[in-house]
């Protein structure tokens, strides 16, 4: 089975897809429209655990200290 994403441009196309679903040729899946203009911070908020964030912050601080240490 293959999944394809399509943009429906008018009601005739939607009616055709619904007909094909009724005769068992395909199945329509509902999907949420993508948020336009959504900030990345809002989009990915909560995607990392607090432990992972703390580890990343420590590593980032360590890298910054190394960078400053090795400059002339």
Closest-CA residue to 26 (of 16, 38, 35, 37): 16
The pLDDT, as a whole number, for residue 2 is: 86
Mean pLDDT by 10 residues, the chain (72 residues): 87 94 92 74 86 94 80 61
Name the one residue in this structure whose structure tokens are 């429906």: 8
**What does the DSSP 8-state code read for residue 39?**
-
The pLDDT, as a whole number, for residue 40 is: 84
Specify whether the CB–CB gap between 28 and 19 falls below 8 A: no
The pLDDT, as a whole number, for residue 17 is: 93
């Amino acid at each position: 089975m293959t999944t394809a994403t399509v943009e429906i441009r008018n009601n005739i196309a939607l009616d055709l897809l619904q007909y094909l679903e009724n005769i068992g040729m395909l199945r329509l899946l509902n999907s949420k429209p993508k948020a336009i203009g959504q900030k990345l911070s809002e989009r990915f908020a909560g995607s990392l655990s607090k432990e992972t964030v703390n580890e990343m912050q420590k590593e980032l601080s360590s890298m910054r200290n190394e960078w400053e240490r090795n400059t002339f």
